[in-house]
Amino acid sequence: MATHPRPQTLAIIGFGNFGQFLAKTFVRQGHRVLGQSRSDYSTAAKELGAEYFKTADEVLDQNPDVVILCTSIMSLKTVMKKFPLQRLEDCLVVDVCSVKEYPRDL
């Protein structure tokens, strides 16, 4: 897999199976990957070549270019309530939820 011509700093919020799949792909492309989740995935992140942080604030202190919300649809509302939204104005925010109507309503 080719490396990206301009590596980005990508934050993955929700570092479960799908978050780790994305991290592995992005790391192979040459991006810096930051992971954060309610469970401790620091060992998995290290094995993938990603960095792991305990809180969203710690992740945002790294000034990511993109924040990827990779949580389950059932926990998205809880995650968003705790997330420091005021710190997101300088980065692209995307979600990978499989249903788009519920996130749109948040």
Residue 28, domain CATH = 3.40.50.720
Give the structural domain span for 53.
Answer: 9-105
pLDDT in tens, 17-41: 999 999 999 999 999 999 999 999 9
Answer yes or no: is 4 within a domain.
no
pLDDT 10s digits, 55-74:
989 999 999 999 999 887 77
User: Model pTM?
Assistant: 0.83
User: Is the residue at 2 inside a domain?
Assistant: no
Q: Tell me, yes or no, whether 15 lies in a domain.
A: yes
CA distances (Å), 14 to each of 1, 27, 28, in order? 24, 16, 19
Whether residue 1 is contained in a domain is answered as: no
Q: How many domains does the chain have?
A: 1
Could you give the CA distance from residue 22 to residue 51 in angstroms, rounded to a whole number? 13
Q: Is there a domain that residue 73 lies in?
A: yes
Q: Is residue 100 part of a domain?
A: yes
